[in-house]
Chain A
Amino acid sequence: MPARVLAEAETRRLDPRVIGTRLVTLSALRNQIGLLVSLLALLGLRGGVRVVGLVGVLVAIGAVSAGRAAVEWLTSSYAIDQDRLVVRRGALRRSLTVVPLDRIRGVDVHATALQRLLGIAVVRVDAAATGGNRDEAVLDAVSRQEAQRLRRVLLREVAAGPVPVPTPTAAVAGQPAQGAVLARLRPGWLVYAPLVGSYLLAPVAAFLAAQQLVDELHIPLPAGVTRLLDGRLDGVQPDPLLVAAAVAAVTAVCVLGAVATAAVANWGFTLTRRGPALVSERGLLSRRQVSLERARIRGYALVEPLPLRAVGAARLLALVTGLGGENSRRAQLLPLGPAGVAREVAAVAVLPFTTPLRRHPTAARQRRLARAVLPWLLLAVPLALLHLWPAVAAAGTLAVLGVPLGLDRYRGLGHALDPAAVSVRSGSLRRRQVVLERRGVVGWRIRQSLFQRRAGLATLTVATGAGAGGYDIVDLAAPAAVALIAEVTPQHVPAQHVPAQTSPGDGDQAAIG
């Protein structure tokens, strides 16, 4: 491609095929909800033949939507002009969006099933101004080829800007070349989906939605099914075989539903390095392509919820500045997969971290146990006073289960340092190991409660502008907390202070004057 690609300032139109997506789709119906409701009400009043009327309504909606889409298409345009992207939209309410090219942090390309059929895609440009997840400019929609061209042009200009900060030390032997695939989701890994809460909830939600739809449309169901759904089982003897079959059926539906949800969301997931960005692509019906600028990635989080950990699987997310929390699907580097593969991908895509994690003092174990067991015991007391024996039994069981939980939580605690990064791990039900580049640390917080003071522990929070904003190193020895701060940011430990030398096992402490 010629170097001065940006010399062109020609204004381009969106792709006319976008009108096809506005004809009769769910979103078109949603947009014309007023028209829809009034037309349907009119039909109801007239009491005319249902089907013909419904078709008429759909045609009317389609015509109105097409008209509006055509007007929008005529009045929308975009141009890349010197160092900015300019997007114009609207006829009655004109809007002009200007995005400086060096503020662009990422370009996402998304195509729903219908858009894929038509050969178009939606381009979303994420710029630094707003922060969070809000897009700065949206081009809905351009042709597939144009979307890729835009992505390359907009991101390459970012790379040509300020000299990128070199990744500190830890030279990875054999960095994969540009365009190399760093990770690929094998279809077999989708079996892990039922172990992940969010995928499991989808079939449940779908079932509830279907039930509500059936109710509202008054679709007649066989009497037995209605009785079952309403929970009215009086007068019907529950046949144990039937109950077992029903439970098995429900479980099978949930499992298959979870796998299907995960498949639709993550089918064909690939992670590629392209220029200064990591580009991930996924989706079965809708195809979503997300680019994450490498300069914004400060580390990664390896998440192992208990069900996944039991089978040796994990999820991998990047810690990206301005992208917030771990619920952002955009930051996924590997949605589901064996833990070993996840670690390899993390090492290649972000940075390798092989230092073994240091365990926390045994006093931390007592604290984890106490916190897992005591609340239930304390709850059981008033429940016993109220003679609510089933609740007492439940609280007692949870208290007993708290013992292995507390022990596992203690085993999950750990932290480590290497020349380039800090790593923090915690949790049992939701274990998460975070590896954060040292340059990503923007501050520290130490919390010490009365109990922690007596036990000689403290909780150190590593503050960072990426991901969740702060990661807690829970219950480490108080002197070790200060030593860690001194090791990572020695200039920020107040002068005239020497952290007490703890056990020689705390190897890499810098000497502090």
Chain B
Amino acid sequence: MGTDVPLRVPRHCVDPHAVWLWVGEGALSTALLAAVVAAARLLTPADAPGWLRTLLDLAPWLAIPLGVVLVAVEPLWRYRVHRWEVTQDAVYTLEGWLVRTWHIVPIARIQTVDTTRGPVQQLLGLATVTVRTASHAGSTDVQHLDAAIADTVAHDLALRANAVRDEVT
């Protein structure tokens, strides 16, 4: 009998193009995994112990479903889970797929707001907004927003953080 964290889910989804980015990341991981398995199979000498050969025979059968999960299941799952919202008081984010992480960052505690765009993000027109406070655990980022929206959000947050800043950190 499971219980979800009874917090209202933040309102906004991330940009749909993020799915392609996650697909790409999943494909890359799968390719790496396949390369490792293939290399292991090629380089193992014929006189290796039996259990090692069994393991290497099984490896592709494990790697393929894993690859499918990383490429097809994880991106869609993440798209359903990742959320963000900025209210009058705080920035809320929800991310993850197997492990879900909520962040609540009060606007009064924000110290810096960064917008970053990696190469793949630039191709897809995405950006990540990173919000930092005095605490590493209390800092969060909103990944893979549409670039224009990200700029607006970052600008807005920076202005409001300045206006509302507490004296006490």
Interface residues of A (CB under 8 A from B): 162, 165, 321, 385-386, 439-440, 442-450, 453-456, 458, 461, 463-465, 469-470, 477-479, 481-482, 485, 489, 491-497, 499-500
Question: Chain B 128-169, CB within 8 Å of chain A: the 1/0 string?
Answer: 000001111111100000000000000000000000000111
Interface of chain A: mostly helix, strand, loop or mixed: mixed
Question: By the criterion CB–CB under 8 Å, are B133 and A465 in contact?
Answer: yes
Question: By the criterion CB–CB under 8 Å, are B134 and A446 in contact?
Answer: no
Question: By the criterion CB–CB under 8 Å, are B3 and A456 in contact?
Answer: yes
**How far, in angstroms, from A454 to B167 measured CA to CA in the complex?**
41
Question: By the criterion CB–CB under 8 Å, are B6 and A443 in contact?
Answer: no
Question: By the criterion CB–CB under 8 Å, are A497 and B168 in contact?
Answer: no
Question: Which chain A residue shows the least CB distance to B133?
Answer: A442
Given the interface pairs A443-B104, A443-B109, A485-B104, the reply to whether A500 lies near B6 with Cβ below 8 Å is yes
Q: Which of B8, B100, B134, B139 contacts A447 (CB 8 A)?
A: B100
Please indicate the chain A residues that have their CB under 8 angstroms from the CB of B139 in the complex.
443, 463
Q: Which of A444, A456, A465, A477 contacts B104 (CB 8 A)?
A: A444
- Asked if B23 is at the interface of the complex by the 8 Å CB criterion, the answer is no
Question: By the criterion CB–CB under 8 Å, are B99 and A445 in contact?
Answer: no
Question: By the criterion CB–CB under 8 Å, are B169 and A447 in contact?
Answer: no
Please indicate the chain A residues that have their CB under 8 angstroms from the CB of B103 in the complex.
443-445
Given A443-B105, A494-B10, 12 extra CB contacts under 8 A: A442-B135, A443-B106, A445-B102, A446-B7, A447-B99, A450-B99, A458-B5, A464-B138, A470-B135, A470-B138, A478-B4, A492-B106
- Asked if B2 is at the interface of the complex by the 8 Å CB criterion, the answer is yes
Please indicate the chain B residues that have their CB under 8 angstroms from the CB of A464 in the complex.
134-135, 138
Q: Which of A385, A444, A491 contacts B89 (CB 8 A)?
A: A491
**How far, in angstroms, from A492 to B139 measured CA to CA in the complex?**
15
Give the most central of A321, A470, A494: most B CB within 10 Å: A494
Give the most central of A165, A440, A469: most B CB within 10 Å: A469
Given the interface pairs A455-B2, A482-B6, A494-B8, the reply to whether A443 lies near B133 with Cβ below 8 Å is yes
**How far, in angstroms, from A455 to B87 measured CA to CA in the complex?**
31
Please indicate the chain A residues that have their CB under 8 angstroms from the CB of B101 in the complex.
445-448
- Can you list 9 A-B pairs with a CB-CB distance of less than 8 A? A443-B104, A447-B99, A453-B100, A463-B135, A465-B134, A470-B135, A478-B5, A494-B85, A495-B87
Given the interface pairs A321-B169, A443-B109, A449-B98, the reply to whether A463 lies near B138 with Cβ below 8 Å is yes
- Asked if B61 is at the interface of the complex by the 8 Å CB criterion, the answer is no
Give the most central of B85, B105, B168: most A CB within 10 Å: B168
Question: Chain B 84-113, CB within 8 Å of chain A: the 1/0 string?
Answer: 010101101000001111111110010000
Q: How far, in Å, is A294 (CB) from chain B's closest CB? A: 13
Question: By the criterion CB–CB under 8 Å, are B137 and A478 in contact?
Answer: no
Please indicate the chain B residues that have their CB under 8 angstroms from the CB of A492 in the complex.
89-90, 104, 106
Give the most central of B85, B102, B105: most A CB within 10 Å: B102
**Interface residues of B, CB < 8 Å — how many?**
36
**How far, in angstroms, from A482 to B3 measured CA to CA in the complex?**
12
**How far, in angstroms, from A482 to B92 measured CA to CA in the complex?**
14
Q: How far, in Å, is B93 (CB) from chain A's closest CB? A: 10
- Asked if B1 is at the interface of the complex by the 8 Å CB criterion, the answer is yes
Q: How far, in Å, is A513 (CB) from chain B's closest CB? A: 14
Given the interface pairs A386-B51, A456-B2, A478-B5, the reply to whether A442 lies near B138 with Cβ below 8 Å is yes
Please indicate the chain A residues that have their CB under 8 angstroms from the CB of B51 in the complex.
385-386
Nearest 3 CB-CB pairs, A to B? Answer: A463-B138, A470-B137, A465-B134
**How far, in angstroms, from A86 to B3 measured CA to CA in the complex?**
60
Question: By the criterion CB–CB under 8 Å, are A321 and B6 in contact?
Answer: no
**How far, in angstroms, from A465 to B109 measured CA to CA in the complex?**
10
Question: By the criterion CB–CB under 8 Å, are B106 and A448 in contact?
Answer: no
**How far, in angstroms, from A499 to B5 measured CA to CA in the complex?**
9
**How far, in angstroms, from A464 to B89 measured CA to CA in the complex?**
17
Question: By the criterion CB–CB under 8 Å, are A497 and B10 in contact?
Answer: no
Question: Which chain B residue shows the least CB distance to A295?
Answer: B168
Question: Which chain B residue shows the least CB distance to A321?
Answer: B169
Task: Tell me the chain B residues, 1-19 only, with Cβ under 8 Å from chain A.
Answer: 1-8, 10
Give the most central of B7, B105, B167: most A CB within 10 Å: B7
Please indicate the chain B residues that have their CB under 8 angstroms from the CB of A442 in the complex.
106, 109, 133-135, 138, 169
**How far, in angstroms, from A315 to B168 measured CA to CA in the complex?**
27
Q: How far, in Å, is A489 (CB) from chain B's closest CB? A: 7
Please indicate the chain A residues that have their CB under 8 angstroms from the CB of B89 in the complex.
491-492
Q: Which of B5, B105, B134, B168 contacts A165 (CB 8 A)?
A: B168
Given the interface pairs A449-B99, A450-B98, the reply to whether A470 lies near B90 with Cβ below 8 Å is no
**How far, in angstroms, from A491 to B89 measured CA to CA in the complex?**
7
Question: By the criterion CB–CB under 8 Å, are B136 and A470 in contact?
Answer: yes
Give the most central of B5, B99, B100, B133: most A CB within 10 Å: B5
Q: How far, in Å, is A239 (CB) from chain B's closest CB? A: 43
**How far, in angstroms, from A445 to B136 measured CA to CA in the complex?**
11
Please indicate the chain B residues that have their CB under 8 angstroms from the CB of A448 in the complex.
4-5, 99-101
Please indicate the chain B residues that have their CB under 8 angstroms from the CB of A469 in the complex.
134-138
**How far, in angstroms, from A447 to B100 measured CA to CA in the complex?**
6
Question: Which chain A residue shows the least CB distance to B91?
Answer: A443
**How far, in angstroms, from A321 to B166 measured CA to CA in the complex?**
15
Question: By the criterion CB–CB under 8 Å, are B100 and A493 in contact?
Answer: no
Question: Which chain A residue shows the least CB distance to B90?
Answer: A492
Q: How far, in Å, is A445 (CB) from chain B's closest CB? A: 5
Please indicate the chain A residues that have their CB under 8 angstroms from the CB of B169 in the complex.
321, 442, 465
Question: Which chain A residue shows the least CB distance to B99?
Answer: A449
Question: Which chain B residue shows the least CB distance to A470?
Answer: B137
Question: By the criterion CB–CB under 8 Å, are A493 and B7 in contact?
Answer: yes
Q: How far, in Å, is B36 (CB) from chain A's closest CB? A: 18
**How far, in angstroms, from A471 to B117 measured CA to CA in the complex?**
31
Q: How far, in Å, is A226 (CB) from chain B's closest CB? A: 42
Question: Which chain B residue shows the least CB distance to A165?
Answer: B168
**How far, in angstroms, from A319 to B87 measured CA to CA in the complex?**
30
Please indicate the chain A residues that have their CB under 8 angstroms from the CB of B100 in the complex.
447-448, 453
Question: Which chain A residue shows the least CB distance to B88?
Answer: A491
**How far, in angstroms, from A121 to B20 measured CA to CA in the complex?**
62
**How far, in angstroms, from A495 to B109 measured CA to CA in the complex?**
20
Q: Which of B7, B106, B134 contacts A497 (CB 8 A)?
A: B7
Question: By the criterion CB–CB under 8 Å, are A439 and B168 in contact?
Answer: yes
Given the interface pairs A442-B169, A447-B99, the reply to whether A479 lies near B3 with Cβ below 8 Å is yes
